[in-house]
Chains A and B, each alone.
Chain A
Amino acid sequence: MTALQLTDLTVRHHGPRGPVAAVDGVSLEIPPGTTLGLVGESGSGKSSLARAIVGLTPVHGGRVLLDGREVRARTVGDRRRLGRLVQIVLQDPDTALDPRMTVHQTLGEAATVFHRLDRRARAERVTALLELVGLNHRFADRLPRHLSGGQRQRVAVARALAVEPGLLIADEITSALDVSVQAAVLNTIRDLQRRLGLSMLFIGHNLPAVCYVSDAVAVMRHGRIVETAPTEALLRDPRHPYTRTLLASVPSLRTSLPDEGPS
């Protein structure tokens, strides 16, 4: 469990007409063991924010605090210290895994970044990690091209969990998946929250999916956070007009769902 605190974080990208602030003075807090959902439309800066926290994008201002300590990602040493605390899962299931490495190799590599493990311990760890994301251990010998998109994303989650981070960032991990597959991945995320007590930053543009897994939701627009509130409160009583527009734009079936699922 790791607490994340961002104060006044700023990330700039080079645009055709000079630098553009993709993330413009964002302050956020994730208390340990909770999930913050971050919603926003394309170009709102939510992915830049995620990449800045893990050091994939340079930070131009503000601070990232993990458990109250400031982190940097200048050197490989910094990055390794950071990697023990925070891991990220990214959007694209097609490139999420190295196409030439089996699931076992991918997970084994991640599990041995910080610990030495012998053959047997490594195999056990891989099995345990697969079980954690709801995949059978037989998947261990497969190459990514023999996995479906949802399975690949779940292996990517398992890889991120292999170093036992306190905070997991999920950056649009279900947006390239079909709805029925998305449901399975969302269930996996809920399950992990409950079993591991992870802190999580769950980023997406699909408001219902984000709300489903988040304790609190932050709404981002043009690089700024316009509203943060506990999920129920945000849905019940959105304050910012943009949040209201977003909520009103979510399509929903005309009558509510029946209480029982398909059996």
Chain B
Amino acid sequence: MSLPLRYPRSPMAWATAAMLASLVVLALAGPLLWGAAADRPDPAAVLQGPSAAHPFGTDNLGRDVLDRVLTATRPSLLLALAAVLLGATGGILLGASTAVVGRRARRLLTGLINLLLAFPALLVAMFLAVVFGAGADGAMLALAVAGVPGFARLAQTLAAAVAGTDHLASARVLGLRRHRLLWRHVLPNIAEPLLLSTTTAAGTALVALAGLSFLGLGVQPPGYDWGQLLNQGLDRIYAEPLPALAPGLAVLYAAVAFQLLGEVLAGGVARRSPAPRTPAAPIATSGPATEGLVLQVEDLTVELPTPAGVIRPVRGVSLSLRPGEIVGLVGESGSGKSLTALAIADLLPDRARISRRTLRLLGADLAAMTPKERERHLATGLAMIFQNPASALNPSLRIATQLTETVRTHRGTSRAQALTDASDALRRVALPPAVLRARPHQLSGGQRQRVMIAAGLMVRPSLIIADEPTTALDVTVQRQITRLLSEIRRDTCAAVLFISHDVALVGEFCDRVAVMYAGTIVETLPADRLSTGTRHPYTRALVASVPNLTADRDRPLPTVEGALPEPLAPTPGCPFESRCPRRRDHCTEQAPPLEGLDAVHRVACWNPVAAEVVAS
């Protein structure tokens, strides 16, 4: 197993390593070097404050406090580690076994863990330490037992996540025996987080053990650990703070060291270099506006910094929509279609860099506006509908709030007027006004997506961007939603940019289709040409690989062999070149531009498929 020591060289990691090393050295060497001195009473120097001879003073028998604190490192650490190891072993086995035992045994074990967890570990440890009898072993055992439920719960939660995976279900169905499931499939997959929490728990155990000794339940005189030294010195705190506090400082030091170790192992203190702040290039004003376009995008590029380097998931996309037009943007995962939509709507994550020659919404150049104007222009000119209506609506707010807040913020509409408008918008999407009072979880998936559309309609947008609005919905509901969008287009003349991976759906429902592959648009064509008139080899293969109800079941479906090009190392040539059956030498050298074949059909290919003469 490899520890996630991803950034071992950060200064915090070094500091933590040094703190732990000092503890280990003290635990090993402490009793040898200072053990004898720590037990040597000096009646002449009883209860002294700090001095050159005794930097932390002396105790009531004249023994040097510093020597005693240093010597006590070994018992304090050893007992805590033993308690944690015992408790962790028991708890992890108990918790992880819940993932592989039968239903009834699991319920029983879970109930037991819940019951034990109701009591704080320190209280249980105190109780058990009393029952086991005051002493180092009793306290250690008590702590171990008290730690079991916490570890069991953690292991149970982690193991439940593994138990829910398809591979564990498959392993069960294969008939693997329980011990093999546990040791081979469950434990290895939860080991890392468990190790992490064991580290933190070691710190907690050290503190708890010191607490027990502090109460007089732990190490008994003449033995001593930090907790007991603190207890002995506590009465002096009013007169001589330093000798009283010295053992406490040792506990603090060790506890913080273990906490930081957990943090280092979790990768939480990794050296974070500030994200490369490429100064946002002064966005030049857009190119000239074309009359009568709702959306005009030319040469749009998005750059995203990743740990491995900067990638360009969208490269030189040009797109335009006229009023009342439904344009499909279709592509498989990784084609950059969603990022294109987010870039148009100015919703990209902060770290993304966007560049374009032209980006005009309703003819207005977004770059030429003040931020406030831009916000208002986007909020009222554009509506977004997202993929998953279950997560796109805020679960804790009523539908009324979610429908009205945009117009109330940006148009200053009165509350009453906004509510009337909201009822109208709901009626438009065939939902009753009673939905206003509902919360999202009371609606079905299709109803939620209608609410999202109604929220978009509230601003009477000129452009609706729908990003996979039906992917999360059932096929019968999908049909209702696309029909609704068509009606809205007809009634309001809004343009719709419909983003989808489903080429059949896009072909059926859109006027025009743009096909994206690896961040570029490879073909734009009227939707009715998709089935027979495609010219780009990728589009053709994509369409052919979709099984339809009339597919010949005796012939294999055509597939696209190979994989998407590596995003970190783009080649100068055509992105589809490596998978293309019509590849030529020239294709590796230069990317083909998107060129018009006729007034409505454009393709980016050096060697397009010949137009077919098919009577349709």
Write the residues of chain A forming the contact surface with B, with a CB cutoff of 8 angstroms.
Answer: 41-42, 51, 54-56, 58, 76, 79-80, 82-84, 86-92, 95-100, 109-110, 113-114, 148, 156, 159-160, 162-163, 178-184, 186-187, 190-191, 205-209, 211-213, 231, 235, 245-258, 261-263
**Interface flags, B119-149, vs A, CB<8A=1, else 0:** 0000000000000000000000000000000
In the complex, the answer to whether A249 meets B173 with C-beta atoms within 8 Å is no
- Bound complex: CA of A262 vs CA of B332, how far in Å? 18
By size class, the interface of chain B is: 35 or more
Write the residues of chain B forming the contact surface with A, with a CB cutoff of 8 angstroms.
Answer: 103, 165-167, 169-178, 184-185, 188-189, 332-333, 474-476, 478-479, 501-505, 507-509, 527-528, 530-532, 537, 540-551, 553, 556-560, 563, 581, 609, 612, 614, 616
Contact residue among B175, B528, B543, B553 (Cβ-Cβ distance under 8 Å from A113): B175
- Bound complex: CA of A222 vs CA of B466, how far in Å? 30
In the complex, the answer to whether A255 meets B531 with C-beta atoms within 8 Å is yes
In the complex, the answer to whether B178 meets A254 with C-beta atoms within 8 Å is no
Contact residue among A113, A184, A213 (Cβ-Cβ distance under 8 Å from B559): A184
Q: Which residues does chain B contribute within 8 Å of A163, judged by CB atoms?
A: 174-175
In the complex, the answer to whether B507 meets A87 with C-beta atoms within 8 Å is no
In the complex, the answer to whether A80 meets B188 with C-beta atoms within 8 Å is no
Given contacts A178-B332, A212-B553, are A90 and B504 in contact (CB under 8 A)? no
Contact residue among A76, A90, A253 (Cβ-Cβ distance under 8 Å from B530): A253
In the complex formed, the residue of B with least CB distance to A78 is B175
- Bound complex: CA of A207 vs CA of B550, how far in Å? 11
In the complex, the answer to whether A208 meets B479 with C-beta atoms within 8 Å is no
In the complex, the answer to whether B166 meets A179 with C-beta atoms within 8 Å is no
- Bound complex: CA of A148 vs CA of B171, how far in Å? 21
In the complex, the answer to whether A100 meets B189 with C-beta atoms within 8 Å is yes
Given contacts A179-B501, A179-B545, A256-B531, are A99 and B581 in contact (CB under 8 A)? no
Q: Which residues does chain B contribute within 8 Å of A97, judged by CB atoms?
A: 167
The interface centre, meaning the residue of A191, A255, A262 with most chain B CB atoms within 10 A of its CB, is A262
Contact residue among B169, B177, B563 (Cβ-Cβ distance under 8 Å from A148): B563
Q: Which residues does chain A contribute within 8 Å of B171, judged by CB atoms?
A: 98, 109
In the complex formed, the residue of A with least CB distance to B191 is A100
In the complex, the answer to whether B508 meets A254 with C-beta atoms within 8 Å is yes
Contact residue among A110, A156, A252 (Cβ-Cβ distance under 8 Å from B549): A252
Contact residue among A80, A109, A113, A253 (Cβ-Cβ distance under 8 Å from B507): A253
In the complex, the answer to whether B549 meets A113 with C-beta atoms within 8 Å is no
In the complex, the answer to whether A180 meets B545 with C-beta atoms within 8 Å is yes
In the complex, the answer to whether A179 meets B332 with C-beta atoms within 8 Å is yes
A-B contact pairs, 17 of them (CB 8 A): A76-B178, A87-B170, A96-B167, A100-B189, A183-B559, A207-B475, A211-B553, A212-B557, A246-B475, A251-B505, A251-B509, A254-B528, A254-B531, A257-B543, A257-B544, A261-B544, A262-B558
In the complex, the answer to whether A183 meets B174 with C-beta atoms within 8 Å is no
In the complex formed, the residue of A with least CB distance to B480 is A249
In the complex, the answer to whether B542 meets A207 with C-beta atoms within 8 Å is no
How near does chain B come to A106, taking the closest CB pair, in angstroms? 8
In the complex, the answer to whether B548 meets A252 with C-beta atoms within 8 Å is yes
Q: Which residues does chain A contribute within 8 Å of B170, judged by CB atoms?
A: 87-90, 96, 156, 159-160
In the complex, the answer to whether B475 meets A88 with C-beta atoms within 8 Å is no
In the complex, the answer to whether A95 meets B332 with C-beta atoms within 8 Å is no
In the complex, the answer to whether A83 meets B332 with C-beta atoms within 8 Å is no
In the complex, the answer to whether B475 meets A250 with C-beta atoms within 8 Å is yes
How near does chain A come to B513, taking the closest CB pair, in angstroms? 11
How near does chain A come to B415, taking the closest CB pair, in angstroms? 34
- Bound complex: CA of A257 vs CA of B474, how far in Å? 25
- Bound complex: CA of A252 vs CA of B506, how far in Å? 9
Given contacts A179-B503, A263-B581, are A87 and B173 in contact (CB under 8 A)? yes
In the complex, the answer to whether A95 meets B166 with C-beta atoms within 8 Å is yes
- Bound complex: CA of A247 vs CA of B550, how far in Å? 12
- Bound complex: CA of A103 vs CA of B395, how far in Å? 41
Contact residue among A95, A110, A231, A251 (Cβ-Cβ distance under 8 Å from B165): A95
- Bound complex: CA of A100 vs CA of B186, how far in Å? 11
In the complex, the answer to whether A255 meets B616 with C-beta atoms within 8 Å is yes
Q: Which residues does chain B contribute within 8 Å of A182, judged by CB atoms?
A: 545
Given contacts A95-B165, A98-B167, are A88 and B173 in contact (CB under 8 A)? yes
Given contacts A208-B546, A253-B508, are A187 and B556 in contact (CB under 8 A)? yes
Contact residue among A87, A99, A249, A253 (Cβ-Cβ distance under 8 Å from B479): A249
Q: Which residues does chain B contribute within 8 Å of A156, judged by CB atoms?
A: 166, 170
- Bound complex: CA of A205 vs CA of B551, how far in Å? 17
In the complex formed, the residue of A with least CB distance to B505 is A251
How near does chain B come to A185, taking the closest CB pair, in angstroms? 9
Q: Which residues does chain B contribute within 8 Å of A55, judged by CB atoms?
A: 172-173
In the complex, the answer to whether A56 meets B508 with C-beta atoms within 8 Å is no
In the complex formed, the residue of B with least CB distance to A151 is B563
- Bound complex: CA of A227 vs CA of B82, how far in Å? 64
Given contacts A148-B563, A257-B531, are A110 and B540 in contact (CB under 8 A)? no
Q: Which residues does chain A contribute within 8 Å of B166, judged by CB atoms?
A: 90-92, 95-96, 156
